[in-house]
Chain A
Amino acid sequence: MLQQDDCITRAKSGDTQAFRLLVEQHQGQVRATVRSMLGPVPEVDDVAQEVFIRFHHALPEFRGDAQLSTYLSRIAINLSLNEIKRRKRKGRWLTFTRADGPETQVEDPSVRPERQDLKDTLQRALQQLDPAFRAVVTLRLVEGYSVRETAEILDLPQGTIASRLARAQQKLRLILESWL
């Protein structure tokens, strides 16, 4: 089994098998991050694939100062935030052009709990958070980064991360009260 550093070195020199191995090792984490940010929508895999394409493109300059997982998480969060902005613009346009509004309405997770399972409900509840708060919850609670690592990835002070976490948890608790 190749070590991650060896894989990166070999991938840098054009070894596609080594790069494939890196994708296999990190795809679960990247897809979970994007899914947590965007919700259970078909675009998740497209955005997650784009994360690895960006990484492949940046591979010659990747110096390994940051952990690969941290590096990929940062790209995943940024691309997800871009996708959310794109969706918002599209939503505004659809609302403007059609009387019935955008198609991607998120179902209210606090209603009819008997029809949903907790994991799906959680994914939907996350979508009710502001994207900036969702990014913090995703990195700290879904991915398990420390507050310090989350602050580094999002380039924010640790105090901001802690207060956003506290407020996001309170909101999620209220949304999911019937489940908890």
Chain B
Amino acid sequence: MKDEAYYRMLLARSFDEELDRPEAEALKEELIRSGTLRKEAAQLRKLRQALESLPKPSDETFTDGVMRRIGTVAEHHLSIRWLNWAAAASAAIILMAGLSIYWSAGSLSTEALVGISELAPEDALTLLQAY
């Protein structure tokens, strides 16, 4: 003898899958015998109908919101792309300037970067006298 829980589970499964023959027969007989199970079957049917009929409302403002957000995301991507280009261009300029200094001064020391690597003390004196 199967218990109530077994028939309940058979009943719930019967809505979504095909029971094998002995199970289907057992459920059919129990439904004839048990008023409680018949009541539960009716409740499950009502529950499923109620779930199927949950509203799927459309809203014009929702679509507008999606299109607006897509526009914002596209703008954001565009500005990020521009930023990346600007960063790459700046890096290239700095690299070229560094190479050019190294090429002409032979090192990347502070004096070379400032442009005084080839300045001798007497040059400084000449410059000061000019003022």
Contacts and interface: CB of A to CB of B under 8 A. Distances in A.
B47 A173 contact: yes
Interface in A28-44: 28-29, 31-32, 36
Interface in A17-37: 19-20, 23-24, 27-29, 31-32, 36
A31 B55 CA distance: 10
B48 interface: yes
Interface size class of B (residues with CB under 8 A): 20 to 34
Nearest to B42: A180
Interface string A142-166: 1010010000000000100111011
Interface in B39-76: 40, 42-44, 46-48, 50-52, 54-59, 62-63, 65-67, 69-70, 73
B63 A176 contact: no
A172 interface: yes
A153 to B, nearest CB: 15
Given A27-B62, A167-B12, A118 B57 contact: no
A114 interface: no
A19 B71 CA distance: 12
A23 B63 contact: yes
B15 interface: yes
Interface string B97-122: 00000000000000000000000000
A122 interface: yes
A49 B51 contact: no
A56 B17 contact: no
Contacts of B13: 162-163, 165-166
A123 B70 CA distance: 30
A9 B58 CA distance: 24
B16 interface: yes
A48 interface: yes
A169 B44 contact: yes
B9 interface: yes
Contacts of B70: 16, 19, 52-53, 56
17 contacts: A16-B70, A20-B63, A23-B63, A24-B58, A24-B63, A27-B58, A27-B62, A29-B56, A31-B62, A36-B54, A52-B66, A57-B73, A147-B16, A147-B17, A158-B17, A162-B13, A180-B47
Interface of A: 16, 19-20, 23-24, 27-29, 31-32, 36, 45, 48-49, 52-53, 56-57, 118-119, 122-123, 137, 140-142, 144, 147, 158, 161-163, 165-167, 169-170, 172-173, 176-177, 180
Interface of B: 8-9, 12-13, 15-17, 40, 42-44, 46-48, 50-52, 54-59, 62-63, 65-67, 69-70, 73
